[in-house]
Every structure is written in C-alpha cells, then in structure tokens.
C-alpha cells in the first residue's frame, strides 16, 4: 500500500465526497430560489429526516429560515452547467431558475418549487436548525418523495449509465465514472 500523506483539516469534507448533490429549492413571499448543495445527509428513518448544511450568507439560508420548508431535487449530468450556475450565482441578483434554464414545478407538500428537470425530489418541513462551525445544519422531516422509476426503485440503480452528479470541488464534478468540468455560457475559451 502506498504511503499516506497528511492533509489540511479542510480536506476532511472532500474525503467524504463525491456525494450525490442536490438542488435545494426554497420559497419566501412568492420569491423562489435554487441553490446547489452537496453537504447532505440522512438523519433518521422514523421519522424520516434529512440534513443539509448551508452557509448563513446564502439566500437559501434566509428563505428556509423564514418559510420553514425546502425541497431537495436530484439532477443528472445533462443539467451539469445549470447545476454549476446555481452554485455560483446569487439569487439576490435575479431569478436563478431563469438564469440556469430550469423550470419550477409545484410540489406535493411544500410551497417551495421543485425543479421539473430533476429525476428525484425530497420535500421537507423544517424541524430544527443547528449552528455548527461556519454552516448551519437544516434538519428537515421528509413530507414527500418522488423519483423516476428507471433510476430509483427502493434505492438508486447504480449501473454504468446512472447519470447522477457528484461534486468534487470548484467546477469539478463526477458522474458515469468520469470527471467533468462545468462551463458557463459566458465563459471564454482560453
């Protein structure tokens, strides 16, 4: 076995990755928002609870704190550039659904919209918000779940052609056993 090298403490989060990422949607006073998040975790089966870590400076943090609801939307590789845009552009600067070319859709149980183009959704009511380090952990009780049959039965169908996106770092993502670099339409080729 190769020798292991000490790493910066911040590398701990990256060792846990790449995990499947989600687009977190929220709504407050008729304004919707969508944010890319990869710091997600299951917290219990009974009742079913999910956690998502969000920095207090994010608009999504404000919207979930005020509305007490959110949805997690699971995109595929065909949405890679939209996912990246939702992770680097602020909803304070305009409609991120529009900027990313995504379609808001009605949810079954929460006011927050779903992302129509995503293959699975988890709708949550906020149970608790815990301040931990420089992020807050939003604990949501699962109120509704939906998914495309071809990719999810009672678990993800993890075959070679499963197109879920996993975040590595910055503009680097993984899926289908390959590494991808996200590109925004306004970037110039070097």
Give, for all 190 residues of the chain, the pLDDT tens digit.
887 677 766 766 665 555 689 999 999 999 999 999 989 998 988 899 999 999 999 999 999 999 999 999 999 999 999 999 999 999 999 999 999 999 999 999 999 999 999 999 999 999 999 999 999 999 999 999 999 888 887 777 766 566 888 887 788 888 777 788 888 765 433 3
On whether the 19-171 domain is CATH 2.30.110.10, my answer is: yes
Q: Domain boundaries in the chain?
A: 19-171
pLDDT score of 189: 34
Measured CA to CA, the distance from residue 47 to residue 124 in angstroms comes to 12
pLDDT score of 156: 77
pLDDT score of 188: 36
Dihedral sign (CA 75, 25, 117, 123): positive
3-state secondary structure labels for all residues of 109-126: CCCCCEECCCCEEEEEEE
145 strand-pairing partners: 122
pLDDT score of 152: 82
């Amino acid at each position: 076995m190769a020798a292991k090298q000490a790493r910066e403490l911040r590398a701990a989060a990256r060792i846990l990755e790449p995990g499947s990422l989600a687009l977190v949607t929220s709504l407050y006073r008729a304004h919707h928002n969508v944010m890319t998040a990869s710091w997600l975790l299951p917290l219990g089966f009974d009742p079913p609870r999910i956690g998502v870590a969000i920095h207090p400076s994010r608009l999504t943090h404000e919207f979930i704190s005020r509305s007490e609801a959110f949805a997690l939307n699971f995109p595929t590789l065909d949405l890679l550039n939209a996912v990246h845009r939702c992770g680097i552009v602020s909803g304070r600067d305009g409609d991120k659904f529009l900027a990313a070319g995504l379609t808001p859709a009605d949810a079954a149980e929460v006011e927050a919209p779903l992302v129509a183009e995503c293959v699975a959704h988890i709708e949550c009511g906020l149970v608790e918000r815990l301040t931990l380090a420089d992020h807050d952990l939003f604990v949501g009780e699962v109120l509704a779940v939906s998914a495309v049959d071809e990719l999810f039965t009672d678990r993800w169908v993890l075959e070679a052609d499963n197109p879920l996106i996993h975040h590595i770092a910055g503009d680097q993502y993984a899926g289908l056993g390959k590494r991808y670099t996200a590109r925004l339409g306004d970037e110039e080729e070097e």
